[in-house]
Amino acid sequence: QMSFPNGCHVCEVEIEPDTGIVTVVGYTAVDDVGNMLHETIVEGQIHGGIAQGLGQVLGEHVVYSETGELLTASFMDYQMPRAGDLPNFSVHHHVVPCQTNPLGVKGAGESGVAGSLPSGVSAVLDALSTRGVTHLDLPMTPQRIWAAVEQARAAR
């Protein structure tokens, strides 16, 4: 039997157009993970998933040299979000017990990633839309954002 967790995530960003640097200034999530056996653990799973998803949106990228050498082989070279890069998350719960298992629980670990990817992308594209940018590939790095803003500026 399957269970179907669901939720809604909203990401708020500010973008410095002259540098392309994105700052996540707000993040709210409401998830239905069924009955929560331990709220702190569930929220920790959601927080970790949000950080993982936003990292994928904003910078995580494996880079190889032309000869096939991995250039992002350590955490010194691989961009990933750290606690200081993220705001306090506002996490809420909409509990709808699962009907297919005796505990009434649903998955929680995936909900943060599943919500942060589309909400992060949407937040960045919404912020850039006033400058004529309508598409941007992942990861949405400062370099890519700056180039997209400059290209849209030149096209106007």
Give the pLDDT confidence of 72-120 residue by residue, as tens digits: 999 888 988 988 999 999 999 999 999 999 999 998 888 899 999 999 9
pTM, two decimal places: 0.92
pLDDT value at 5 more than 90: no
C-alpha span between 136 and 117 (Å, rounded): 13
Q: Which of 120, 107, 98, 100 is nearest to 10 (CA)?
A: 120
Q: Tell me if 149 sits within 8 A of 127, measured CB to CB.
A: no
Q: How far apart are CA 51 and CA 107, in angstroms?
A: 17
What is the C-alpha separation between 26 and 11, in angstroms, rounded? 6
pLDDT at 3 over 90: no
What pLDDT score does 120 carry?
A: 98
Q: Is the pLDDT of residue 51 over 90?
A: yes
More confident site: 109 or 129? 129
Q: Which residues are catalytic?
A: 110
